[in-house]
Chain A
Amino acid sequence: MNEIGGKIMKRYLFLVVLLVSISVLLSGQVMSQVLPAGLPRNETFIVDQIYRYSTAQNFNIWVPGAGEQPVRQGLVSDSLWYVDQQTGKWINSLAKEPPKYNKDFTEMTVKFRNNIYWSDGVKFTADDFVFTVQTLIETPGMQWNSELSTYVKEVDKIDDFTALIKLKEPNPRFHYYFTVRWNGVYMMPKHVWEKVKDPLKFTFWPPVSLGAYVIKDADPQGYWEIFERRDDWKRTTAGIITGKPGPKYILQIYYGPDEKKVAAMTQHNLDLLMDLDIEAFQALLKRDPYARSWYKDFPWVWPDELDSRIFCLNNEKFPFTLKDVRWALVLALDIVKLNTQYVNGVSKVNPIPEPPVPFLAKYYHKPLKSWLKSFKLEVDKGVYFKPFDDTIPQKIAEWAKSQGYTVSGTPEDVFGIGWWKYAPDIAEKLLLKNGFKRDKNGKWLLPDGKPWKISIVAAPDEVDAFRLAIGASDQWKKFGIDVTVEALERDPYYTKVQIGDYDISSSWSDGCSACAANAMIDKWQYIQGLHSNYYVPSGQRALTGNCLRIKDKKLDQIIDEMGSLSPNDPKALTLGREFMKLWVENMYGIVTHGFKKFVTVDTYYWTNYPSFENPYSQPNYWFMGGRFTYHYVEPTGRK
């Protein structure tokens, strides 16, 4: 028996020795050699690929689900106009000037730049534009097919660099389809696509580029993609507009979970990442002295993504049908605690459905502050209560100081203009007024005497939304409501919210489109879906951003009037503010915070990325407008 054991153990030992030898051998291949041969580190900007691409070697970005992926769509393709999401600056890209409409908004004329070339040397002209619009109209299933076929009557080339679109009905915002926030109608190279028989199945790989970069290589498994700067980058819009070449190579890598991104950045194998949860970010700061986010100090984070956190209330489900109940839920929330204890004080509070970013705050939040302060709720007949509290930013700043943080800026700029008071006594009055009662344990009962139970649905991978759901649940429980949080994966979550199978959801613009915005004064694009024309009852999918199921004639009037105006008409801003006021009066949903992301840079190899001190351009590189930002980064000289 010993003999057998001994022999087998010898073999086992051999295996162990073999494994150790392989490990030692592999130890020479450290990860600093992440780059393939021919890509010098000081010429390669490595960015975080925000997810694994499922269709890596397909560049048909016109088919939903096929080739449209972050970063690549900005580096390799182009559209007519952009709005920088940090500065709100209008950028004429392929178009050399803003669109021109006729008087009744039934014709739009576009003039193009005459010095832009595709990467194969062919000049971009109005022919490409006309071909793109016609192809999209003729191919159901392609992005923008539905929109363009709904509105476009005719598209014509006037000359090589001018095109005219005639519309089926007046539309002063038709150019929005060609104005990039996340994307805009991508131009097709006519000389390539005119030979294609089935535009839906064409992979367009490798793509002919209209951006300053071409795709050099891509992982068929979708973990990385390498872009190389074109030699003729000055013949692209990004090159012309920025006047700078940008890094020679851009490599995007999907490293996986946060801890691996932190590891990669600590090893200087990742220069820029999209987001981390706060714990991972703090771990990174401790280990990498070259890492930083938007602010150098607390709250570090980039707070200006154009979206907001909201507790969507199902306006069609009792008791959320009652305005007083909706307001009672607001006043039972302690926003200072919600902010500091559940999202670590790094998000801006936000009382209205408009992202609290500097550009928009100038037009909405700050001018509305005096109205918000004077706004009164009728608690009882003739008894009023002013719910707005503009000292909340100061309270959060004081909390931050008590934690030993240095706050980067004024409380209002960093933490928002204010929010609603924590007033459980007023909340109680509002509920009692509507027939609610407390039982002997202090728990709330509905007017029919049944216990008031609320479920909050939230997707845990949307970290802040989930944490806020937990926070609200804790606070409303303390107030006496029986609240549970239902954690769901994204798709079941979307399904529940869209079909109205929920009480409250911890959402963002997925639940209510009004929470988001472009960096433009005009709000119409984000509230048009709330019009009662598009209302669908619970049980059917709400796909136009109205999962709260608002149905309000006053709101319809605002949307209708706004829709008939040019977005540049000053009255559009007035109506936008009227919408905010209507929202507050009715409290359709509880907007709590602006969006934030720990967009983090490692400044070891590259510097001059946008920051609070130098906010020259949008730092959200994964949006199409990020294509300009890459050009401004500068090498530190380290090799």
Chain B
Amino acid sequence: MENFVRYIILRIFQTLIVIFIGVTIVFFVPRLTPMDPVAGTINRINAYSPMDPKAVEKLVDTLKDLYGLKGNLLEQYIRFWTRLIKGDLGPSLAMFPTPVVDVINKALPWTIGLLVTSTIIAWLLGIILGTVVGYSPNKKWAQVISIIITCIYPVPYYIIALILVFIFAYIFPIFPLMGGTSIGLRPSFSFHFLFSLIEHGFLPAISLIIGTTCFIFMTQRALISSLTSSDFINFAEIAGLPHKKIRSYLIRNSMLPQITDLALSLGSIFGGALMTEFVFSYPGIGQILYSAILQADFNLIMGISIFSIIGVAFAALILDLIYPLLDPRIRYK
């Protein structure tokens, strides 16, 4: 028990250091590029009507002040941590003065909804298909599934997404072309809203599920194939153990890498699914992050990255804590 507590404290400490280093890197990297959010704002103003040159300098000064970009990098860094400790991520610079938290809060539920659902469905499908095919590789149906998945696997998922849009939103206009729900619909627990939610999320989810399922299938099939020829399975079969028992051994022994993959995938969903959001015009954090990078919106980049860093770091932490539950050979040290 003492080992366990010490292990947990150490791992939490490591996680906090990882987060600190990650956040620090994300703070400095955009600021060390020549990109400039103040110039970005002036470019947007100038894009259609040239500003009076006399006024430009004044505006540069005002915006630097409002955006918190005055002072040297160290001063900005200290100000950033002082704010962050209070839970304030500051205003978005490209959408000033909208708080970064508001921007993230608006987009994140769509990303979580889409990616958590599609990741879990794809993971389960991949595990089931991979196990079945890996366990019975010589069956005709197993070979057919393998060939189909092997053919689909190398196709980039945005190509699959485009094909889905073309077939199901244009040739057969079954699904909508854009948005997260129907125009004018407000979130509620009504059947109408839920139906609309599924209708709009269906193609984006399918495009993600297809690619991820293929990946999980390939790895699971390989794991099962190698496990079926291992000594403990041969022994179990010779000993006449029921198939159900053997299957449980197989699945449990193949789970460690797959659980790792699932946890890290779920932990990294805060980066969004940019191509899916773009192709399906589906709301989410991916496009927001992309625009933030292009517009040098330092605060928004930081905000989203913090979520992402914390997500991945904690996924790794949780994995480390539950490994021994999945595999008794692993011990807390």
Question: Is A1 at the interface (CB under 8 A from chain B)?
Answer: yes
B300 to nearest A CB, angstroms?
A: 10
A139 nearest CB neighbor, chain B only: B62
A5-B136, A146-B59, A256-B279 as given contacts; A541 in contact with B36, CB under 8 Å: yes
Q: Are A146 and B58 in contact (CB-based, < 8 A)?
A: yes
Contact: B294 with A55, CB < 8 Å? Answer: no
**Closest beta carbon of chain A to B127's beta carbon, Å:** 10
A154 within 8 A of B: no
Output the least CB separation between A592 and chain B (Å): 20
Q: Closest CB-CB distance, A522 to chain B, in whole Å? A: 13
Contact of A220 among B92, B106, B184, B281 (CB under 8 A): B106
Contact B185 A36 (CB under 8 A): yes
Residues of the A chain whose Cβ atoms lie less than 8 Å from the Cβ of B39: 494-495, 498, 541, 543
Q: What is the size category of the interface that chain A forms with chain B?
A: 35 or more
Q: Would you call A65 and B44 a contact (CB within 8 A)? A: yes
Q: Is the CB of B50 within 8 A of A31?
A: no
Given the complex, which residues of B lie within 8 Å of A143, measured CB to CB?
45
Interface-side segment among B68-76, B171-179, B257-265: B171-179
CB contact under 8 A between A263 and B287, given known A224-B183, A528-B53: no
Q: Which of A64-105 contact B (CB under 8 A)?
A: 64-66
Q: Within the complex, what minimum Cβ distance (angstroms) separates A494 from chain B?
A: 6
Q: How far is the CA of A140 from the CA of B175 in the complex (A)?
A: 47
A149:B58 contact, CB within 8 angstroms: yes
Residues of B within 8 A of A8 (CB): 128, 131-132
- The answer, yes or no, to whether B320 is at the interface (CB within 8 Å) is no
Q: A182 touching B42 by the CB < 8 A rule?
A: no
A residues less than 8 Å from B157 (CB atoms)? none
Q: Tell me if B's interface is mostly helix, strand, loop or mixed.
A: helix
Chain B residue total in the interface (Cβ 8 A): 85
Q: Taking CB as reference atom, which chain A residue is nearest B292?
A: A54
Q: Known contacts A54-B94, A263-B170: does B199 contact A253 (CB below 8 Å)?
A: no
Instruction: Please tell me if B96 contacts chain A, counting CB pairs below 8 Å.
Output: yes
Q: Which of A19-27, A107-115, A439-447 contacts B (4 or more CB under 8 A)?
A: A19-27
B-contact 0/1 string along A1-34, CB 8 Å cutoff:
1111100110110010000001100110111111
A63 touches B174 (CB 8 A): no
Known: A254-B281, A492-B35. A223 touches B179 (CB 8 A): yes
- 11 interchain pairs, CB-CB under 8 A: A8-B128, A9-B141, A26-B199, A39-B184, A58-B98, A64-B96, A140-B62, A182-B49, A183-B49, A223-B180, A255-B178
Chain A residues near B (Cβ < 8 Å)? 1-5, 8-9, 11-12, 15, 22-23, 26-27, 29-37, 39, 52, 54-55, 58, 63-66, 140-141, 143, 145-147, 149-150, 181-183, 200-201, 217, 219-224, 226, 251, 253-257, 259-260, 263-264, 266-267, 269, 489-492, 494-495, 498-499, 501, 509-510, 513, 516, 525-526, 528-529, 531, 533-534, 541, 543-545, 623
Besides A253-B178, A269-B177, 9 other A-B contacts (C-beta < 8 A):
A5-B142, A31-B173, A64-B45, A200-B66, A266-B170, A498-B39, A510-B47, A526-B50, A534-B56
